[in-house]
Amino acid sequence: MTAISIDHVSRSFGTVRAVDDVSLEVRDGEFFTLLGPSGCGKTTLLRTIAGFADLTAGQIRFGERRIDTLPPHRRNTGMVFQNYAIFPNLTVDGNVAYGLKARSVPEAQIKERVARALKLVHLDGYGERWPHQLSGGQLQRVAIARCLVIEPEVLLLDEPLSNLDAKLRVEMRAEIRQLQQSLKITAIYVTHDQEEALSMSDRIAVMRSGRLEQVAAPQDIYRAPATPFVAEFMGTTNLLTGTVTGRDGDITRIGVGQREFRAPSRASNGESLTFSLRPETVRLLAPGEAAPAGWATLHATLARVEFLGALTRLELDLGGGTTLRVASLDVLPGALATRGCVVAAYDPRRVTVFGGR
């Protein structure tokens, strides 16, 4: 296993800083994901680790060994590309063996290691097939086997599932994660898909405009976003701004339009605060139902209902132009048809406040 140290790394293209002074520590055997929108610098950062893009500044180390001064073939990394990069003129065996032949590995060892790599990705018996005879998921497995066969210190994956259909993506992400855990190999995974990142990662680095917005475990990225950008990028949220109107113990009252929200904060009266409230943390109360102890309530008008099978999305009009989004499980639209005025409840401690004291 190999720990990776990224120390004040920058990469510029002319006047554009694609990666801007990034420092990261990736632990031994960790599945670490670089997540962000297109153009945020995540793929460029991955390419600097692989050696396909030179650094403008900074250093990269695998353990104690500095590798940013080495050519790609001497870094001992395996990279899986978005478009698979499979050679159409080689069989599956030929594709997987390519890296070993380039390293002048003896033929007897090549055959044994190729067979072992194909077994790892569940492609036993596919060695003589040609790429055009394989499905997208099988091609992706060949690309992974080609990386694993060289026994790299670090596995790098650049949006490897983006060309697959939704169902196959879910299957393949589980397989990749299981394989990484069984091999105990350090992996850095690039994606713009939040669900993919949350389901696979030990830790996630959210990037924006070449910089790190937050580095944390998936549950902390989602439930305790460090910035409004992270809150909005990681799924749906209610991002609201209001003015502090008072405090009850450690809970602050925040006026937003015609309503008052409650959240943990030590901000002073009159201070402006931005905060995030996830739709799934808000619950509609049945007529006459009391809110759980410690929860806050809001009176609203039911403005919109969107039925999505197991999930129902609601929009509540709080007046004054403020809308609150709610997500509820197992609620049928018919049960809400006659409920114009509703009461919504939420736990103030599930509100994330940005700024303030």
Please give the average pLDDT of every successive group of 10 residues along the chain, which has 357 residues.
Answer: 93 95 97 96 97 96 96 92 90 95 91 93 93 92 93 94 87 90 94 95 98 97 96 95 94 94 94 96 90 95 88 92 91 65 94 81
- Residue 333 is predicted with a pLDDT of 62
Put simply, whether the predicted model's pTM sits higher than 0.85 gets the answer yes
Q: Where are the domains of the chain?
A: 4-233, 238-354
- Ramachandran assignment for 122, one of left (phi > 0), alpha (psi -120 to 50 degrees), beta (any other): left
3-class DSSP state of 222: helix
- Residue 216 is predicted with a pLDDT of 98
Angle at 159 between CA 24 and CA 114, to 5 degrees: 100
**Domain 4-233 CATH superfamily:** P-loop containing nucleotide triphosphate hydrolases (3.40.50.300)
Looking at the domain covering 238-354, what would its CATH class be?
mainly beta
- Residue 86 is predicted with a pLDDT of 92
- Residue 334 is predicted with a pLDDT of 62
Please provide the distance, in angstroms rounded to a whole number, between the alpha carbons at the two ends of the chain. 41
- Residue 20 is predicted with a pLDDT of 97
